[in-house]
Chain A
Amino acid sequence: MQEPLPAAPRRWPEEGHTRVPSWIYTDPALYRRELDTFFHGPTWNYVGLGCEVPEPGDFKRHWIGERSVVMVRDRGGEVVVLENRCAHRGSPVVWEERGHAKDFTCRYHQWCYSLQGDLVGLPLRRGALGQGGMPADFDPRQHGLTRLRAVTRNGVVWASCSPQAPGFEAYCDTLLPAIDRLFDGRPLRLLGYQRQMLRCNWKMYMENLKDPYHATLLHTFYITFGLWRADNRSRMETGGGGMHGVMVSENTGRRTTAATAQLGRFGHDLTLADMSLVTPIPEFADGRIAGGTLHPSAVIQQQANSLAIRHVIPRGTGATELVWVFFGYADDSEEMTLRRVRHANLVGPAGLVSIDDSEVLRQCQAAAEGYPERVGVIEMGGRDTEPADHMVTENQIRGFYRYYRKAMGL
């Protein structure tokens, strides 16, 4: 559907952050500004896990927004993040998803870079048979692979495209405890990836993770087996001026309370032949579930014993690549590892919980494209953006759009 050229600049509904205009999911010019303002701007983005590149020379390719980047463990053992773009004419230097190399040589003209991105070789620099070659004053030090600000914190690699981003800890703000709780310094063990191409705008996906209200109504498995439901004690708040979301709750198992009657999708007759699918082995001393969203690209997941970082990669106004990186700890028992693998059945593209989200979001995106001038209403829990000690609220979504309007000048 062609987006008609707007007659005037976009104007947010006058009610402010309790309203979400649908054109934010469909406007291509806005999308490009979001890439510059957020993913390629002064933010911190998920790149990978250190255990994906265990040895010097190991590398893995990934994305920040629409930019291809490479994370590589250099000779000194440090993880470096480089733009995957030859300084010469822009060809991607790394064409494989992962591998091991002693240097990076661009296929096109064989410019050769060290693992740290320094330009160390360039065939025919001095010409051939006395003809051609680079100018005498060509300085290779000015033409390396751009190196991003990167931080490895307890085994997770984050990078920023901008020197203007605050330090990583300050950036994470109220979400830092949840990040440090899952990534507490114990060596990690990569368990695998799930990847899907969602058919919705990246913000629509992130909102879904700032929306405990839907989870307690839509996801029968969560409600019925107590993994996430409105009558569990919880706290929902934002961070970083509204851009992040922090969610803490508890798992109480299957139970009915006075609230159950309103949880229409509670499966009174739902029993499982194998209850291990929904039964966590207790592993965190505080007995809680904690996670959230680190703007713009990461979701911190603790669902039963399934631990993951979900990485959000925008692919145009109507598509989002979602990469689920599942991990455990190197000292997990075999029983725990198997339990984590079982619980991965709940999430991802085939997830018995997550399918609901993928499907609903595709429908919502299609509706936004048909009705770009319509407006969503987010008043559950009130009209403010203050923390809430319950999950019957859209406060995190309101907080995000209050931040978004400021950042985007809307």
Chain B
Amino acid sequence: MPPANHPIATARAALRAELRDFYDAYFACLEDQDLERWPGFFTDDALYLVQSAENHGLGLPVGDVFCDSAAMRRDRAAALRTTSVFEPRRLRHFAGTLRLRDDAGDGVIRAEAGYLAVECLVGDAPALFSAGRSIDEIVRGADGLRFRSRRVVYDHTHVRNSLVFPL
């Protein structure tokens, strides 16, 4: 390990801090249930997939959510906003371990980030809704970082009733 004030260590610390800010901004958008802003965290042709560790481990393509374009993300956001029927809830996201993969020199930041989401329904005790990790590829554009691929792989086998808001 280089010493803490070595340029490589400093750059790595700065990148980790920048990523933490990016994930915080993403989770804040989800917590605000600001579905219209959610697609803006992705590049246009980014893959967004939410699937169980079971499917991921078996290399199976089906997820609970599959969006491979901005159009699909906008459609999902619009559907949740205008057509879906569900009781109100709040979700709170807690970032877990952040593992930064080595720089492949192609301008893509590869990270795996643990997460926990807690769901509060009216009348219920707070519930652990989802725990797992996201396997992310993040790129830098003119207006900041965006996901070019985000696979949310949850550790549990089943979803507690319904998965309404994206993870």
Residues on A facing B (Cβ under 8 Å): 97, 190-199, 218, 220-221, 265, 267, 270, 272-274, 277, 321, 326, 337, 340-342, 344-345, 348-350, 352, 354-356, 358-360, 362-363
**Beta-carbon contact of B52 and A349 below 8 Å:** no
> Does B162 count as interface, using CB distance less than 8 angstroms?
yes
Other CB < 8 Å A-B pairs besides A194-B52, A341-B62, 17 of them? A191-B62, A192-B51, A192-B58, A192-B60, A193-B52, A196-B159, A197-B159, A265-B83, A274-B71, A277-B75, A344-B66, A349-B158, A355-B84, A356-B85, A358-B161, A360-B85, A362-B87
For the complex, give the distance between the alpha carbons of A326 and B61 in Å: 10
Q: Indicate the size class of the contact surface on chain B.
A: 35 or more
Tell whether, in the assembled complex, residue A341 and residue B54 are in contact, meaning their CB atoms are under 8 Å apart: no
Report the Cα distance A360→B74, complex, angstroms: 25
Query: Known interface pairs A192-B60, A265-B83, A274-B71. Does A350 touch B52 (Cβ–Cβ under 8 Å)?
Result: no
B160:A270 contact, CB within 8 angstroms: no
Segment 57-78 of B: residues with Cβ below 8 Å from A? 58, 60-67, 69-72, 74-76, 78
**Taking A352-B84, A359-B87, A360-B85 as contacts, is the C-beta distance between A191 and B61 under 8 angstroms?**
yes
Closest B residue to A322 by CB, please name it. Answer: B158
B163 interfacial by beta-carbon distance below 8 Å: yes
CA distance A124 to B120 in the complex (A): 54
Task: Tell whether, in the assembled complex, residue A359 and residue B75 are in contact, meaning their CB atoms are under 8 Å apart.
Answer: no
> Can you give 11 contacting A-B residue pairs, CB < 8 Å?
A192-B58, A196-B160, A197-B161, A220-B83, A270-B78, A272-B78, A273-B74, A337-B61, A341-B66, A345-B66, A345-B72
Check B79 against A221 for contact (C-beta < 8 Å): yes
Tell me which residues across on chain B come within 8 A of A344, comparing CB atoms: 62-63, 66
Binding site for A on B (CB under 8 A): 50-52, 54-55, 58, 60-67, 69-72, 74-76, 78-80, 82-87, 157-164
Query: Given A221-B83, A349-B159 in contact, is the A355-B164 Cβ separation under 8 Å?
Result: yes
